[in-house]
Amino acid sequence: MSDALTPPESSRPTPQLRPPDFRPTEAVHPGHTNLDQLELPALVQALADDQLGAVQAARAAAPQLARAAEAALLGLERGGRLLYAGAGTSGRLGVLDASELPPTFSWPETRAVAVIAGGERAIRHATEGAEDDEAAGERDLLALCPGPDDVLIAVAASGTTPWVLGALRAARGASTLTIGLANNPGTPLLAAADCPVLLDTGPELISGSTRLKAGTAQKIALNTLSSALMVRLGKVYGNLMVDLRASNAKLEARALRLVMHGAGADEASARAALSAAGGQVKLALVSLRLGVPVAEAGRLLDQADGHARLALGEQ
């Protein structure tokens, strides 16, 4: 006899099974299923070789990165900021990119601002649960007072991180241009961003560990994007890093070499020009190339919005 409290089999609701994770970065890598049994040389070779997928993904994304850079330049030329948002490895890579722009290109620190899920502590200590708080991502981004000339670079390997999606939503609400970097196709981050950039790296060799080639692809993409922006903003002459901040002996020597090379000057002349220019490579270079005092070189650079080639009359 059947239990009267138990409905007939045909009338019971069908169990709702959770669909398998669609994200390729979470899939099990089909190669090297015996990774833990490899001899150390073979293990290192396998891990290094798998990183080639990061380079391939970044190269495939080059057209998307170019479109993102073109869109970002409009606001940055009006004084906008580069804002970064990410969680975990992606967040730390955003912090790294923002941190490297001031010494490399003399980009103002106030115009390269990164936020990470979990706050400053998360840079050095894992705070994985913070990435699930979408409302916190929105609040953290709004605390930066984003505006229409700013650019948000939102990074998430999964493309589904709630905290990052919250930050992106806040940016869009402030009419801030949004660039989304994700390692999985068809994800909410790419769908919501003004400029989506897919870094399709597929499964990780250590399955699910997106600090590997997914993270490498993000680093390449961030390097490429921010460097392209700095070149277009006049921070580079030819391929010389003429806006570096010489803050130690190594960089002072580098600044001297750049002036010597860019101006075709001997060491003594380059040193004198750098001294007169207060250590500013671009200013010293223009002064030497045109044979004018530093003050006149500065005036010409101001007229050229900081572009050395334009100040030199080469455009």
CB 309 within 8 A of CB 303: no
Amino acid at 197: V
Most distant pair of Cα atoms in the chain: their distance: 105
Whether 100 is catalytic: yes
Q: Which residues contact 140 (CB under 8 A, 6 or more apart)?
A: 85, 115, 117, 119, 163, 167
CB 313 within 8 A of CB 286: no
Catalytic residue among 26, 131, 204, 267: 131
Burial code (b: 16+ CB inside 10 Å, e: under 16) for 256-266 equals bebbbebbebe
CB 115 within 8 A of CB 141: yes
CB 137 within 8 A of CB 170: yes
Catalytic residue among 26, 100, 120, 252: 100
> Which runs of consecutive H residues, i.e. helices, occur in the chain?
40-50, 52-60, 62-76, 88-105, 134-142, 162-173, 188-192, 213-232, 249-263, 267-276, 281-290, 294-303, 308-311
Q: Which residues are catalytic?
A: 100, 131
